[in-house]
Structure 1
Amino acid sequence: MWFRRKSSKSTAPKLRPHPVREPMLTAESEPTLRRVRLPVDLLQRGMNIIKLDRPWTEVPVLFQGFILCDDAQAEILRQYCDWVLVEDEEERLNPIMDRMVDLKELASTPLPETCSLAEELPRAREAWTQGQSFIDKVTRDIASGEELDFDQARPFIQQCVESIQANASAMFWMSRIKSRDSYTAEHCLRVAIFSIAFARFIGVPDNDLEIVGMCGLLHDLGKLKVPESILNKPGELTAEEAEAMRAHTTLGYQLLREDRKLDPIISDVSSHHHERIDGQGYPHQLADWQISRFARLVSIVDAFDAITSDRCYRDGLSTSEAMSILYKNRGQQFDAGMVEAFIRMIGVYPPGSLVELSSGEVALVVATHPGRKLKPRVEILLDANKNPTPPRVVDLGTQTGNTSADTEIAHPLADGAFGISLRGRIQQLTANAFTHAL
């Protein structure tokens, strides 16, 4: 059996063994120690880590049981685990346990915004262009046998993180502009973007978002070494071709492991994003407890984008169809809790979708709300007669719901319907921002 610990032992931060703390007792006070199962996103320094949600050998730590003494140790646990058993003084644990309610509620509230979509789009567009340049360079370097420098991806990922923290819908809009001929490159960019947003949505600390983005960006790196005749074959793959395609997980792992500057979780995700919760995935048929948290996260985003994208051999499915597939396969192929959270984040009408309202007006979806999947925030661009109208943003979810005059989405439209395209609207908004800057 293959264990991640063996491949990442040399790069893992050394965790010093520490005996279980025995509090000093006095006549005046007697600290009470308590053991609780804590979500990894709530870990704090000084906690005594007693047990993980998986065998110790499945996480790149050197000892079984230790005092959490620095951020690097907590980061490793957040990458691989969902929860750990900790021991600490009850007085210190109580306020942390209170935060568990807030953590659960995060996945029921919209991603926070610090600026409008129009304000954020120029930076999002610049980041997208920067990401395309990186993927193009990596593709050329692999083809020519040049040494790969993955640090060049960090400026793009950092811009993505900053943009998503400001207004995630701007990057979501950029990710909906797809080219059938550039699937592999654009797929990597989209998975990076949605992985960052999804991690933030479920409460992963901001300090971890760059690593999550790098995992998403490089998860399919091995496909750049798969022959194009197989990668872009319009028909069904033969058994040999399918095997060569599945080998992209191992090829990507090998490429990423050569760069010792990269966090080991990045190569882990590249190797394991096609593993399944039921143990029927590849390349190692891992059990659910052997699949890292970040690999489970990226696998959902990877599948969603693959399902909704046009490929050389088929057209992409709608968002609702993709959500049905993910939901049907929760607990078998995908982590059930993560699938349900991802569906809440994306919504029925993702940002960038073109829709016709019950009023006859035509609008682009600006942002979704996890608690109001059918009532997103929209920007109305055409009136009921399909004539251009001054753009105005309307939150369909804040209507009273007590009057027949309330507007709702009648049905989705294909991009470009009635002369409205997402690409055209992005160009308008970014051009306006540039003009105003002058």
Structure 2
Amino acid sequence: MWFRRKPDKLSAATRRSEQPGQRASPLAGTLKRVRLPVDLIRPGMKVVKLDRPWTEVPVLFQGFTLHSDDEARILRQYCDWVVVEDKAERLAPILASLPALKQKTSQPLTETRPLEQELHRAADAWNRTHKFIEKVIRDIEQHNELELASARPLIQSCAESVKANASAMFWMARIKTRDAYTAEHSLRVAVFTMAFARFLGLPEEDLEVVGMCGLLHDIGKLRVPGEILNKPGPLSPSEHAVMREHTTLGHTMLKQDSSLDPIISDVTLHHHERIDGRGYPHQLPEWQISRYARMIAIVDAYDAMTSDRCYRNGMSPAEAVRILFKNRGHQFDTSMVEAFIRMVGIYPPGSLVELSTGEVALVVSSHPARKLTPKVEILLDANKHPVPPRVLDLGDQRLPDSPARTISAPLPDGAYGISLQGRISQLMAKTVADRS
């Protein structure tokens, strides 16, 4: 049986002083009590307070000492911050790292391999994971037993590629097939959520689980009748009710697999809950929605808005970002929306754009502090003639004899004969040729 111990009561003065990284109350000897972002907690710390009621987190006790990385991982899945108690000398280096963590979402994702080198691994991981999702779809249609745990090594491969150069996976995610929305959507959400988690500062060991959350978040839709799921028009109230059942259907399916981390079924059930308590299926208030569910909600909505469906064309990334921003604090977590927009930018990697000079380029990567001036690869000159590819950072143009370039307009994929798929094939062929 689980027993919950009532946490120590904190004085009003102590509660008022609980700011991130600041001392909340002096304790005997060299102990300190501080509020920390959950990504900085370590085994050995005593957790005395959460950012939500203790009953909303699957831990055994109220007020306990972290003894393992697994316990810290559970807190990272649900909470944004906690109040901990530890020796001052142990806390000192962690508190010193706070400024770097706060600055993390103003810096681009780190890259350890060039885009052209990473594309091979990204394409392999993407294709193998895509085949897995297609197999899951067939197994559900044929009522076969699901083998969801076999997705782990596939997600690990995707995570390794994201860590090496996320833009390679972002390029793969830009190639969309209208008729394969269900499979591709799940994979895109997994990829973007892993990159988002890394951007926010989650430890790298968390990427596999958060990627599994993204991959399986909509698995319940495979139980929704096709005539409703793919209806080329507005759904009736009764059809909406059936569609909304996908969260509980997915939760039921995943709960039957004991090999999966419990947070995966939690996200499947709650990724359509809203910060204002008007979501479904349970109209949860903000503090009852897990951190991972709030992350997936943003990525899921962004990809759904920017993807072509059988009944409508997707909107531009800029318009999708505008809608996310408009609905922050109501539908979506405010700080997470703002961080996600900084990560993807207005012109996401893989976008085709026309520059103010008339040149045509592909977006290579974005910079959180310069959403309108990403790094691009120029492929056509002002007269729309092919030129030797040249990478240029629009936010760092220092050539005195070169005109200052800005993006004048986004272009549809395939404009002027330039396609993302074609450029990926060229770069991969060049890499192979260079190795031989």
TM interval, short-chain normalised = over 0.9
- Which aligned pairs between 1:383-402 and structure 2 lie closer than 5 A? 383-400=381-398
Matched, 1:139 2:165: no
**1:330 alignment partner, one of 328, 336, 357:** 328
Give 3-state SS (helix, strand or coil) of 1:276's partner: coil
CA distance in 1: counterparts of 2:88 and 2:111, whole angstroms:
35
Aligned to 2:38: 40
**Superposition deviation, residue 17 in structure 1:** 8.0
Alpha-carbon distance, 1:402 to partner: 8.7
Deviations 1:205-258 (A, max 9, x none): 001000010000000000111111000000111111111100000010011101
- Is the Cα contact below 8 Å between 1:17 and 1:67 reproduced in 2? no
Q: Show the counterpart of 1:168.
A: 166
Q: Deviations over 1:318-344 (max 9, x none)?
A: 111001100000000000000000000
Aligned position for 2:191: 193
**Aligned twin of 1:128:** 126
TM-score (norm 1): 0.92
Measure how far apart 1:436 and its partner are.
3.6
Q: Structure 1: any 5+ residue segments left out of the alignment?
A: 1-8, 21-29
SS of 1:243's partner is helix
1:54-99 residue CA offsets vs partner (Å, 9 max, x unmatched)? 1111001111111001000000000000001101112221221121
Conserved 8 A contact 2:6-2:62? no
State the Cα distance separating 1:434 from its structure 2 match: 3.1
- Report the secondary structure of 1:235's partner residue: coil
Q: How much has 1:100 moved relative to structure 2?
A: 1.3
Q: How many angstroms does 1:435 deviate by?
A: 3.4
Give the counterpart of 2:338 among 337, 340, 343: 340
The 1-side partners of 2:92 and 2:422 are apart by: 52
Match of 2:86 among 88, 97, 100: 88
The corresponding residue for 1:6 is none
- 2:361 aligns with 363
Residue pair 1:273, 1:298 contacting (<8 A) in 2 also: yes
The amino acid of 2:429's aligned partner reads A
- String of CA shifts for 1:405-428, please: whole Å, max 9, x gaps: 211212111111110000111111
Aligned-pair identity in percent equals 64
Structure 1 residues 16, 246: closer, same or farther in 2, change over 3 A?
closer
Corresponding position of 1:107 = 105
Gaps of 5+ in 2: 9-27
Please show how residues 2-401 of structure 1 align to structure 2 within 5 Å. Answer: 31-400=29-398
CA-based RMSD: 1.9
Q: Name the TM-score, length of structure 2 as normaliser.
A: 0.93
Paired residues of 1:128 and 1:174 also in contact (CA < 8 A): yes
The Cα offsets for residues 289-315 of structure 1, whole Å up to 9 and x where unpaired, read as: 000000000000000000101112211
**2:193–2:210 contact (8 Å) kept in structure 1:** yes
The answer (yes or no) to whether the contact 1:16–1:66 under 8 Å persists in 2 is no
Counterpart-to-counterpart distance in 2, 1:194 and 1:361: 29
Secondary structure of 1:46 counterpart: coil
Contact 2:359 2:382 survives alignment (8 Å) = yes
For the structure 1 residues 18 and 47, does the alpha-carbon distance in structure 2 shift closer, same or farther, using more than 3 Å as the test?
Answer: farther
**Match for 1:411 among 409, 412, 432?**
409
SS in 2 for 1:375: strand
Tell me by how many angstroms 1:401 deviates: 9.8
Q: How many residue pairs align between the two structures?
A: 417
Aligned partners of 2:160, 2:93: CA distance in 1, in Å?
Answer: 29
Distance 1:194 1:421 in 2: 21
**Alpha-carbon contact 2:47-2:66 (below 8 Å) kept:** yes
Q: Distance in 2 between matches of 1:400 and 1:31?
A: 56
